[in-house]
């Protein structure tokens, strides 16, 4: 074989080696993505199915904005009780203790309120909904979006065709999530257009859950008005109804959970 022939052979060998390395790298990335989706999927299922009844202090701000100016605003402090109904769905009940720095009087009527930030906070990673999204993994971050036409699939119509991302710690747990939903889809599935959530590991009944520590939400409305909501959640702990038995009396509840 001549010098030219040897050179061609070397080039072919180098090309084959590069292709093999690229294929191995792609396989490694796919495996890492699958492992991360399994981890986040398990966390999402745990929130949806295993989360016990608990309560937190909620400190919130609700605003109606127009062209960046505040048109209406309510600051509040409340106890939010998160309870599982008989059908398994999670409900939230709010007991307001302070409105604009004062004890509440009359009806609590903020411009805009958002709930559902606990059991459904990792909804976009549920195993049953993962087929509705395209995911991409990079260091400390996993992004997701709905491919074109996804919203028309029967199993995906409740997702809202969002686009977003989650930030991950070194162990692959979600620490922050943001997502946007096109306004026309958000109205159809009754979700807010933009949501950002900070997570904090919280132990309840001997198990650690990624509970919502802060939530921010925005919804654009007609005539240039935007509803803005933000809340922080602290001091989360198990909530259990207690009762006392009086002599000659039937059981009287001290603090029974309200029906969601």
Q: What is the pLDDT of residue 99?
A: 96
Rg (CA), the chain: 25
Quote the mean pLDDT of the chain.
Answer: 84
Range name among 7-11, 113-117, 134-138 with the lowest pLDDT average: 7-11
Residue 30 to residues 23, 167, 246, Cα–Cα distance (Å): 11, 18, 63
Judge contact between 98 and 76, C-beta under 8 A. Answer: yes
On the 0-12 / 13-18 / 19+ scale of CB atoms within 10 A, 125 is: buried
Residue 240, pLDDT above cutoff 50: yes
Domain ranges of the chain: 27-253
Q: How confident is the model at residue 248 (pLDDT cuts 50, 70, 90)?
A: very low
CA 137 to CA 129: how far, in whole Å?
17
Residue 226, pLDDT above cutoff 80: yes
């Amino acid at each position: 074989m001549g010098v030219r022939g040897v050179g061609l052979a070397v080039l072919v060998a180098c090309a084959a080696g590069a292709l093999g390395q690229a294929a191995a790298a792609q396989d490694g990335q796919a495996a890492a993505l699958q492992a991360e989706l399994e981890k986040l999927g398990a966390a999402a299922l745990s929130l949806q199915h295993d989360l016990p009844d608990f309560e937190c202090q909620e400190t919130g701000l609700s605003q109606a904005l127009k062209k960046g100016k505040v048109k209406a605003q309510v600051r509040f402090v409340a106890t939010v009780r998160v309870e599982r109904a008989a059908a398994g769905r999670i409900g939230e009940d709010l007991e307001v203790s302070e409105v604009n720095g004062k004890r509440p009087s009359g009806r609590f009527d903020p411009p805009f309120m958002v709930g559902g930030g606990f059991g459904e906070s990792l909804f976009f990673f549920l195993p049953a909904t993962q087929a509705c999204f395209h995911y991409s993994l990079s260091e400390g971050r996993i992004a997701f979006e709905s491919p074109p036409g996804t919203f028309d699939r029967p199993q995906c119509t409740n997702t809202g065709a969002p686009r977003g991302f989650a930030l991950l710690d070194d162990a692959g747990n979600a620490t922050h999530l943001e997502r946007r939903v096109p306004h026309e889809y958000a109205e159809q599935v009754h979700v807010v257009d933009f949501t950002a959530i900070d997570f904090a590991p919280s132990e309840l009944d001997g198990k650690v859950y990624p509970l919502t520590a802060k939530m921010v939400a925005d919804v654009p409305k007609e005539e240039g008005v935007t509803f803005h909501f933000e809340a922080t959640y602290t001091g989360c702990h198990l909530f259990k109804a207690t009762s006392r038995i009086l002599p000659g009396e039937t059981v009287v509840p001290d603090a029974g959970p309200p029906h969601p």
